[in-house]
């Protein structure tokens, strides 16, 4: 016998690249709708989204604190806006104009801060909804996989025969 007949040689699969792993999709495994849906939902819950939410809350708190500071400042001008023995009408009017300007700015900042806060809290609610949906999808997939794996070949044959009989 030749030495060549005793040797088993394998040169790999044509087009195969060393060190590259293929995903289940590339291997031809089907992806169910539930796994696709879970992947989309997990992207929405990502760490990036959480960081954006925390950043929104931080900005909202900053706007609300600026609004509170402006409220204090506007009260000072409001007190000076009434003419008296020590404050002339012109000076009182100027103080009133300043108070009005500061008050409007404070209201805008307060409204913007509250809006940012509400958006951040709605993001939390959406995130909890997505987590619950992912959990439900996983439970459903588990029960589906258990029921399919519980079927034996005899039950599958009986089902096929029954379907042929019905047709």
Whole-model pTM: value is 0.48
Q: Percent of the chain beyond pLDDT 70?
A: 77
Structure tokens at 108: 């805008």
Model confidence at 136, pLDDT cuts 50, 70, 90, reads confident
pLDDT tens digits for 4-61? 566 667 766 777 666 667 766 666 666 677 778 887 887 777 776 777 778 888 888 8
Tell whether the model's pLDDT for residue 134 goes beyond 80: yes
CA pair distance 109, 86, nearest whole angstrom: 33
From 119, 110, 4, select the one nearest 54 (Cα to Cα).
119
Model confidence at 133, pLDDT cuts 50, 70, 90, reads confident
> Nearest 10 degrees: CA dihedral of 161, 149, 25, 44?
120
């Amino acid at each position: 016998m030749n030495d060549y007949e005793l040797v088993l040689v394998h040169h790999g699969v044509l087009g195969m690249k060393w060190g590259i792993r293929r995903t289940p999709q590339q291997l031809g495994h089907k992806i169910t709708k539930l796994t696709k849906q879970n992947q989309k939902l997990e992207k929405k819950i990502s760490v990036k989204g959480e960081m954006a939410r925390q950043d929104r809350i931080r900005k909202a708190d900053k706007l609300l604190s600026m609004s509170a500071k402006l409220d204090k400042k506007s009260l000072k001008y409001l007190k000076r806006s009434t003419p008296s023995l020590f404050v002339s009408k012109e000076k009182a009017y100027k103080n009133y104009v300043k108070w009005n300007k500061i008050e409007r700015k404070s209201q805008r900042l307060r409204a913007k801060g509250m809006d940012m806060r509400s958006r951040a809290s709605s993001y939390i609610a959406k995130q909890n909804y997505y987590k619950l949906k992912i959990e439900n999808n996983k439970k459903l997939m588990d029960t589906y996989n258990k029921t399919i794996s519980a079927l034996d070949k005899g039950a599958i044959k009986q089902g096929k025969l029954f379907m042929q009989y019905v047709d």
